[in-house]
Structure 1
Amino acid sequence: MSTFNPCSPTMTRRRFLSATAASAATAALAGCVSVPSTQTAYAPARPAPTPSVSEFRVMYGAMVDDGREIPSVPIEKLDPRLYRQEVADPTGEQPGTIVVDTSQHFLYLVRGGGRALRYGVGLGRAGFEWAGRAQINKKRVWPNWHPPEEMIERQPELEKYRTEFDKDTGEWRGGMEGGIMNPLGARALYLYEDGKDTLYRIHGSPEWWTIGKSVSSGCVRMINQDVIDLYDRVPEGTPVVVTSGVYTV
């Protein structure tokens, strides 16, 4: 078995690539129902108001989580489209589904009633893009980071973080302990397909300036304040769709 790699795809993971546009369209059509004319028609609930700039500053302000201090994010340096906010759901997926639109650098959490929570994300750089369907089978708070073997070869100073798989416990030993400078940030959601670890993660990052860009080795990275918010909203078993260019904004 090869060394655990939380963010970099390998040839064995290319099976995870799949087209999702057709299934997304099918799910959207399945949600259409008619209302008998004898019933009273009710207006849909009003969308949640957009937070003010001051509210966004609080949302991305400094915080203490599990004894660790997370610094504030200078939101004026981010595109406001990347702020966490409620929007009209463009995905057609079932409520509770996470949808990552790689063409827009958005992650949606479908809420139902035609609404979704939208978060800005950072994605894999050219050559590491991926798409498919999976589910969250594991969640971790301030997870350890396990650098891939090829990264250790390029950066020998990471040798101290090399990991070994413990067959007795089914866990990886070693790695960088969770912390504010850990590449996996404050939370990690582990994506599995057919019960097998895809080695892809949705995770936090201390590098807020990479949100909205394609710089990682395949994983979906979020601002720490945002990944904490998402982590608290989704249970294990949550379905995840990663796709590109399907949804309009």
Structure 2
Amino acid sequence: MFNSRSIVAAVLATAAFAAPALAQSESSASFFRDDRNVRVAALTDPLILGRESPQTTREIMTDPTEQRPGTITIDTQNRYLYLSLPDGRALRYGIGVGRPGFEWKGVARVGRKAEWPSWTPPAEMLKRRPDLPRFMPGGIDNPLGARAMYLYSGGRDLLYRIHGTNEPWSIGEAVSSGCIRMMNEDVKDLYTRVGVGATVVVL
């Protein structure tokens, strides 16, 4: 349980379409599939500062969620994602969440995973934003970023994702349409630690 915190509706948010915030002098072709261009902190490292913002928010701490190891818990009010580890520890990452009107809470699971995923905006989003592309291949210009974990309930795709972002300034903000955003370095780390079938608790 989260001590003395009032956790309200949870949100998982699809990233808004925007210009990339990473290495603008690099072309997508030379950059986006080369993970060597993305620096990842060791668990014991302090925050690694990038050009204008931290490149990772990752911290190890006592697990406040009381969930089983391997469970992802999303605290949308405080804008943190926790991955429960053995021995009562957790990895905590900063996240961006959905804007008002796109809240939900419940339990889901990771139904599939993708590296440098392509993006097909859902019909509901295209109604709100007819200027969006109907399809975008994976890359640094893609709002899903470096990795995506697709959330399911039973056999149904909920159309919510935990994903990277090309808008690192949005971490800690409530600006998107339903998915959970993470820094690319953070989502790559989480991606290696959870498998298909992992439980996701949205508070």
Unaligned runs of 5+ in 2: 1-12, 16-30, 40-47
Greater radius of gyration (CA): 1
Could you tell me which of 178, 186, 209 is aligned with 2:169? Answer: 209
Q: Distance in 2 between matches of 1:89 and 1:222?
A: 19
Structure 1 92/155 Cα, relative in aligned 2: closer, same or farther at 3 Å? Answer: closer
Among all aligned residue pairs of Structure 1 and Structure 2, give the percentage whose two residues are the same amino acid: 51
Structure 1 132/156 Cα, relative in aligned 2: closer, same or farther at 3 Å? Answer: closer
User: How many aligned positions are there?
Assistant: 168
Runs of 4+ in 1 over 6 A off after TM superposition: none
Q: CA deviation at 1:7?
A: 3.0
Q: Which amino acid aligns with 1:103?
A: Q
Q: Distance in 1 between matches of 2:171 and 2:108?
A: 22
Alignment of 1:235-246 (within 5 A): 235-243=195-203
Instruction: Name 1:124's counterpart in structure 2.
Output: 98
Q: CA deviation at 1:75?
A: 5.1
Q: CA deviation at 1:195?
A: 1.6
Q: Which has the higher contact order (CA 8 A, sep 6+)?
A: 2
Q: Distance in 2 between matches of 1:68 and 1:96?
A: 24
Could you tell me which of 130, 144, 167 is aligned with 2:118? Answer: 144
How large is the RMSD of aligned CA atoms in angstroms?
2.6
1:179 matched to 2:139: yes
Larger helix fraction of residues: 1
Alignment of 1:73-84 (within 5 A): 74=49, 83-84=57-58
Assess if the C-alpha contact under 8 Å between 1:70 and 1:180 holds in 2. Answer: no
Instruction: Name 2:60's counterpart in structure 1.
Output: 86
Unaligned runs of 5+ in 1: 1-5, 9-63, 163-174, 244-249
Q: Which amino acid aligns with 1:67?
A: D
Could you tell me which of 9, 31, 34 is aligned with 1:67? Answer: 34
State the TM-score, normalizing by the size of structure 2: 0.74
Q: Distance in 2 between matches of 1:192 and 1:153?
A: 23
